[in-house]
Amino acid sequence: MYDIAKIRADFPILSRSVNGKPLTYLDNGASAQKPQAVIDAISQAYSHEYSNVHRGLHYLSNLMTEQYEGVRGTIARFLGAGSENEIVLNSGTTEGINMVAYGWAMPRLQPGDEIVLSVMEHHANIVPWHFLRERQGVILKWVDVDASGALDPQAVIDAIGPRTRLVAVTHCSNVLGTVVDVKAITKGAHAKGVPVLVDGSQAAVHMPVNVVDIGCDFYAITGHKLYGPSGSGAIYIKSDRMAEMRPFLGGGDMIREVSKDTVTYNDPPMKFEAGTPGIVQTIGLGVALDYMTDIGMENIAAHEASVRDYANARLSGLNWLKVQGSTADKAAIFSFTLNGAAHAHDISTILDKKGVAVRAGHHCAGPLMDFLGVTATCRASFGMYNTKDEVDVLIDALELAHDLFA
């Protein structure tokens, strides 16, 4: 049984109030709250165990190294990777995708080569490719979604031409909640000899992920959305692709030997991890993933699906509100505008007065906002601890906002 009361009790922040009202935290798409187990692990590490990793021979350094390196295996299991050597630890998705852009794509792509993207990518999966466009004449090819927000895998595959060198798509839209069939896209792209990068920032939070089953070459995740600390994350890189990659950052830890004239590198994945990492953040991420795994990703997905269906039913009863994205299997992420009424920022300010935390703005998805013909939306994004009662709180607050602006 999904023990929602226990899960909620595990997250201390959920029992606080905001503006005199119980907190209704619906900004999980931006960043999720942390369970006590993660908070305790961070406190324990800094209070009793902290030291730098890898380079020390003393007790604490070995202890931290063991814990830190253990997370590589935790992430590999969480993502279904074949080997923990295919996991590069980093600060989050933004770093992971930049690493691929600089380390894999930049040395290989020529002017006129193409990267295929969907129109609903987050800026983290757009701007690194713009760098390549600006600096080396790479062409970005965009694939639209349909009116429901669905991305047709065949449309992505059809966009792949003889000059396409990479497909970079999200597994789940942070704005529409659309879940993308990245397995079908990967199969079609590979049939044309083109690697696939998947931005898993949102998907890995809401559903079981298996990178071997998907077959993709790169899969990026970010710890703070996975109920772990900010500044933690990882990217899965298939070993063949990792062998083709140049290191992106240079510094300590990623080298074997350095002299005045030469440098040799550590074995992958360490070759791609320069400098002192986010040690405690990564340890916290490991605890967060264990926490989710203990509850079960299928159970989390089923709970969120029931909250999503309830939210869908309630929101569709508001004829003055337009929700963007209506695919049946979407994640519980709802971006909406109030017809002819106030700016999303004003709506979110009113919701905040009722203790309801949502996000308002472009959600780092400029091309999608242009495609939808809006400048901003409000976004309510649900996580494993949200309830149908909280949907009701959201609806009441929205009705208040509507009354104020009508």
201 in contact with ligand PLP (CB under 6 A): yes
**274 within 8 A of 355, measured Cβ to Cβ:** no
Rule CB under 6 A: which of 97-126 touch ligand PLP? 122, 124-125
Residue found under tokens 């942390």: 34
CB-nearer residue toward ligand PLP: 197 or 397: 197
Residue found under tokens 């999303």: 344
Q: Which helix (H) or strand (E) holds 196?
A: strand 196-199
Q: 364 catalytic, yes or no?
A: yes
Distance in Å, CB of 226 to ligand PLP, minimum: 10
CB-nearer residue toward ligand PLP: 92 or 354: 92
222 in contact with ligand PLP (CB under 6 A): yes
Rule CB under 6 A: which of 350-389 touch ligand PLP? 364
Pick the piece of the chain touching ligand PLP (CB under 6 A) from 18-26, 91-99, 157-165, 385-393. 91-99
Burial class (CB in 10 A: 0-12, 13-18, 19+), 187: middle
Rule CB under 6 A: which of 289-328 touch ligand PLP? none
Using CB under 6 A as the criterion, what x/- string covers residues 42-81 for binding ligand PLP?
----------------------------------------
Q: Using CB under 6 A, pick the residue from 24, 90, 94, 381 that binds ligand PLP.
A: 94
Dist. CA 130–CA 116, nearest whole Å: 12
337 in contact with ligand PLP (CB under 6 A): no
The encoded tokens of residue 163 equal 């000059």
Name the CA radius of gyration of the chain, rounded: 22
The encoded tokens of residue 68 equal 């830190």
Q: Using CB under 6 A, pick the residue from 28, 33, 90, 202 that binds ligand PLP.
A: 202
Residue found under tokens 């990967």: 186
Q: In what order do the strands lie in the sheet with 333-338?
A: 321-324, 333-338, 377-381, 359-361
Residues found in the chain: 406
What residues line the site for ligand PLP (CB under 6 A)? 92-94, 122, 124-125, 170, 174, 199, 201-202, 222, 224, 364
